[in-house]
Amino acid sequence: MSDKPDIRANRPALALHVPEPPFRPGDTPDFSSIKIQAAGEVPRPDVAADAAETHPLTTQLVRVLDDNGHAVGPWNPKLDPDTLRKMLKDMKTVRVFDDRMYRAQRQGKTSFYMKCTGEEAIAVSAATAMDPEDMHFPTYRQQGLLVARGYPLVTMMCQIYSNKGDPLQGRQLPIMYSDKKHGFFSISGNLGTQYPQAVGWAMASAIKGDSRIAMGWIGDGATAEGDFHSAMTFAAVYQAPVILAVVNNQWAISSFSGIAGAEQATFAARAVGYGIAGLRVDGNDALAVYAAVKWASERARTNNGPTTIEFFTYRAEGHSTSDDPTGYRAKGEAEEWPLGDPIARLKAHLVALGEWDEERDAALDKEIDSSVRGAQKEAESQGILPQQGFDNIPSMFEDVYSETPWHLAEQRDQALDEAREFLGHEPK
């Protein structure tokens, strides 16, 4: 077909670029090449500003807390000490909760667990910045939303144990919480699905002339799903009152963020292409997170449209209890991570304010430890996973539909017969 047969011979060979993280097992991590803005450096546009005015911020990093624990610059939300102490307590609670539940899984008390170590500031500050009536569409790493909103730890644990106290009746994998009253939408196992759902909820709120807004959450890795694009597109088209958060914790199981496109652009920068306001925020800085979410929620609430926020952070532990990160990333990355530990940073800030000291901190740790232990004891009194599975079998056939159709009724009866035979007695 070609009339220029010699063209290709003179051309350079193409080559596929396969991104590779800077460090692999055996390497010594060194993050000095990551450019980090000084705290207070990034300007704060008006909440009603043109989206375009925010776009330079998508390649920077909104930070409030400096290395000495001082809150500086235009994004300083100037929170009162009580609020700060509540945030510290919530963040610490999340960490202790994670540790205990991780151990519970290791002890065989349940099948699965996922920590958010190092990312506690993000969910806790977001919950603090928004109204209790606002709706979250979270991923499995926003347990901090529930903690900050006062959802009972015991109930969270019961869900994890799939026991009698589990409001989801043992139907969901551990940590797939759901609670309407606390504005926490049912977590999906399928990555990304919640993102356009958040937009739809916000659209509904706007259709109804309500004042509640929604916040959708997604991980860096899951931004690659088509649902991410659906959410951004619908949010932009209908100017939905929604905040679309990307928690960039650098890893998606074993894939580093470059496999989701981070070598070429920040996740916040995705906003630019849709004409959505965009912010990129130090996710380990509780005040910066608070300020950014507050900004975006005010923007949404005043009909100024959606905001995409990238929270730049680091997944300090394995992906889940099924994962061992030493197989794919260098040891010590979490320690070397240049943005520090969010709990330590918030504590330092309170100390710098003169509103906190080591004594109170130790007392708080003790209090949290004992309340989490207490909750665990109470939850376990309602059963752990290995004891579940043969009580209240009819419940398993409910809620497929609003009413049980004939075929499920038949199957339920058959299942009960089988259980009777298996147990050697009438199932409870």
Ligand X SMILES: Cc1ncc(C[n+]2csc(CCOP(=O)(O)OP(=O)(O)O)c2C)c(N)n1
276 binds, among a second copy, another protein, ligand X, none (CB under 5 to 8 A by kind): a second copy
Exactly one of 15, 403, 425, 428 binds a second copy (CB under 8 A); which one?
A: 15
Cβ atoms of 143 and 152 closer than 8 Å: no
Beta strands in 100-250 (DSSP E): 135-137, 214-219, 242-248
Q: What is the chain's percent helix, strand, coil content, to nearest 5?
A: 45, 10, 50
Rank residues 230 and 371 by Cβ distance to another protein and give the closer one.
230
CA 424, distance to chain mean position in Å, is 44
- Judged by CB under 8 A, the chain residues 191 through 250 that form the site for a second copy are 203, 205-213, 224-230, 233, 236-241
Exactly one of 196, 219, 241, 318 binds ligand X (CB under 6 A); which one?
A: 219
Rank residues 172 and 249 by Cβ distance to ligand X and give the closer one.
249
DSSP secondary structure string for all residues of 338-392: TT--HHHHHHHHHHHTTS--HHHHHHHHHHHHHHHHHHHHHHHTT--GGG-SSSS
User: Helix and strand tally (H, E) in the chain?
Assistant: 13, 7
249 binds, among Mg ion, a second copy, another protein, none (CB under 5 to 8 A by kind): Mg ion
Task: Report the distance separating Cα 145 and Cα 129, nearest Å.
Answer: 11
Rank residues 3 and 82 by Cβ distance to a second copy and give the closer one.
3
Residue with tokens 């009960």: 416
Question: Is residue 276 within the footprint of a second copy (CB under 8 A)?
Answer: yes
Task: Report the distance separating Cα 330 and Cα 34, nearest Å.
Answer: 17
Question: Is residue 100 within the footprint of a second copy (CB under 8 A)?
Answer: no
Pattern 234-273, Mg ion, x by CB under 5 A: ---------------x--x---------------------
Task: Report the distance separating Cα 344 and Cα 391, nearest Å.
Answer: 44
Question: Is residue 296 within the footprint of a second copy (CB under 8 A)?
Answer: no
184 binds, among Mg ion, another protein, a second copy, none (CB under 5 to 8 A by kind): none
Question: Is residue 220 within the footprint of ligand X (CB under 6 A)?
Answer: yes
264 binds, among ligand X, Mg ion, another protein, none (CB under 5 to 8 A by kind): none
The pair of structure tokens assigned to 182 is: 């606390």
Q: What is the smallest separation between the CB atom of 58 and another protein, expressed in angstroms? A: 20
Exactly one of 118, 221, 305, 383 binds ligand X (CB under 6 A); which one?
A: 221
Pattern 183-202, ligand X, x by CB under 6 A: ------xxx-----------
329: left (phi over 0), alpha (psi -120 to 50) or beta: beta
Task: Report the distance separating Cα 85 and Cα 417, nearest Å.
Answer: 55
Cβ atoms of 175 and 187 closer than 8 Å: yes
Contacts with ligand X, residue ranges (CB under 6 A): 139, 141, 189-191, 219-222, 247, 249, 251-253, 315, 319
Residues lying near a second copy in the complex (CB under 8 A):
1-4, 7-8, 11-19, 51, 131-133, 149-150, 181-183, 203, 205-213, 224-230, 233, 236-241, 258-261, 263-265, 269-276, 301-303
